[in-house]
């Protein structure tokens, strides 16, 4: 049975691994407009301007790119312990750590595919230094005067060797609600989009055509407007950042988007989903067929993965 919605408040932050930490830091600060907010060991902690917490993203030096941790903030202390109890009862025991600045105890577990997930409640609310004080008291930090100026970390798209058990874990153990999915002609679940909030999605699982486990498809940052994404495309072009596809509009979830690769090798999406919310408590799960996905994106752009080449449908 799916637990009541509300135990997980939102997607908190992620830790990315990068073999080129200096250039990755340049990309996230100069191009996207994140603010550095401390360092620990080989890691740099960065924040989007509208995040109320200490950091939105941690960059950690590593021989290969990828994602190490995705942290989800619970709706309270009791909610956190309910999810911990549920994870342990479902056979996903974890450990308690206190290894991130500004964040209280984290319960670190993993999904069936091996992606590290951390649940927490206690958090330090960000206090902007004088040079970053906003003009309005109801935002945590002044908007950046450079780069894209992304507003928040929006979602994480995980690659999974088998989508179904990972989506079930996120739904049944963590309490997410699925909103859209891709089902192949064979009946296999190839991708599913899930939300913890009224946003249309927070976490996505996409089938990994290579059969690997624990990999990342992309992380995404939300912008205020579609025009910000067009500006991002120009900034990336001018600064030698590889644009993979877009700007364009996804068919699934209708997000206006741009896919780029940051210098460390991680795919990053810039997206504008701000006006699409799931407000209906009885929202039906929307299923896309293999033939429907083969048509490409909303306005005909071919998707980045080819079903005919890799055996999985193109994904958003």
Average pLDDT, the chain: 93
For range 241-263, the mean pLDDT: 95
Q: Assess whether pLDDT exceeds 80 at residue 271.
A: yes
Q: Assess whether pLDDT exceeds 90 at residue 6.
A: no
Q: Assess whether pLDDT exceeds 50 at residue 312.
A: no
**Closest residue by Cα to residue 152 from 224, 217, 216:** 224
Confidence of residue 275 (pLDDT cuts 50, 70, 90): confident
Confidence of residue 305 (pLDDT cuts 50, 70, 90): low
CA angle 16, 260, 19 (to 5 degrees): 35
For range 14-35, the mean pLDDT: 98
Tens of pLDDT along 88-118?
A: 999 999 999 999 999 999 999 999 999 999 9
- Gap between the Cα atoms of 224 and 293, Å rounded: 28
pTM of the complete model:
0.94
Instruction: Break the chain into its structural domains and give their ranges.
Output: 8-135+149-295
Tens of pLDDT along 285-302?
A: 999 999 999 888 998 888
**What percentage of the chain has pLDDT greater than the value 90?**
88
Residue 27's pLDDT is what?
98
Q: Assess whether pLDDT exceeds 80 at residue 41.
A: yes
The CA dihedral of 40, 35, 224, 314, to the nearest 10 degrees, is -40
For range 246-258, the mean pLDDT: 94
Tens of pLDDT along 183-203?
A: 999 999 999 999 999 999 999
Residue 303's pLDDT is what?
74
CATH numeric code, 8-135+149-295: 3.10.180.10
- Gap between the Cα atoms of 202 and 174, Å rounded: 12
Backbone angles phi, psi at 171, to 5 degrees: -75, -55
Residue 3's pLDDT is what?
40
């Amino acid at each position: 049975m799916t637990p009541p919605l509300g135990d997980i408040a939102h997607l908190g932050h992620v830790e990315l691994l990068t073999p080129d930490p200096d250039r990755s830091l340049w990309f996230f600060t100069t191009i996207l407009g994140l603010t550095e907010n401390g360092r620990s060991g080989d890691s740099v902690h960065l924040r989007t301007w509208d995040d109320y917490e200490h950091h939105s993203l941690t960059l950690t030096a590593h021989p290969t790119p990828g994602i190490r941790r995705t942290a989800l903030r619970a709706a309270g202390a009791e909610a956190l312990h309910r999810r911990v109890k549920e994870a342990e009862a479902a056979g996903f025991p974890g450990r308690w750590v206190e290894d991130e600045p500004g964040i209280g105890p984290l319960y670190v577990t993993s999904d069936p595919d091996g992606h590290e997930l951390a649940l927490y409640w206690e958090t330090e609310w960000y206090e902007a230094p004088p040079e970053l004080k906003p003009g309005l008291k109801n935002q945590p930090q002044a908007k950046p005067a450079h780069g894209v100026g992304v507003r928040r970390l929006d979602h994480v798209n995980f690659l999974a060797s088998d989508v179904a058990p990972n989506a079930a874990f996120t739904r049944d153990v963590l309490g997410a609600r699925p909103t859209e999915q891709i089902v192949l002609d064979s009946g296999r679940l190839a991708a599913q989009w899930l939300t913890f909030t009224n946003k249309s999605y927070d976490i996505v699982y996409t089938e990994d055509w290579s059969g690997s486990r624990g990999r990342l498809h992309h992380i995404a940052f939300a912008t205020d407007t579609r025009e910000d994404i067009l500006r991002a495309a120009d900034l990336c072009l001018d600064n030698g950042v590889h644009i993979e596809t877009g700007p364009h509009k996804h068919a699934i979830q209708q997000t206006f988007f741009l896919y780029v690769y940051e210098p460390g090798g991680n795919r990053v999406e810039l997206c504008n989903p701000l006006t699409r919310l799931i407000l209906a408590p009885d929202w039906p799960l929307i299923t896309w067929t293999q033939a429907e996905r083969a048509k490409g994106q909303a306005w005909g752009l071919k998707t980045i993965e080819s079903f005919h080449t890799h055996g999985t449908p193109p994904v958003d």
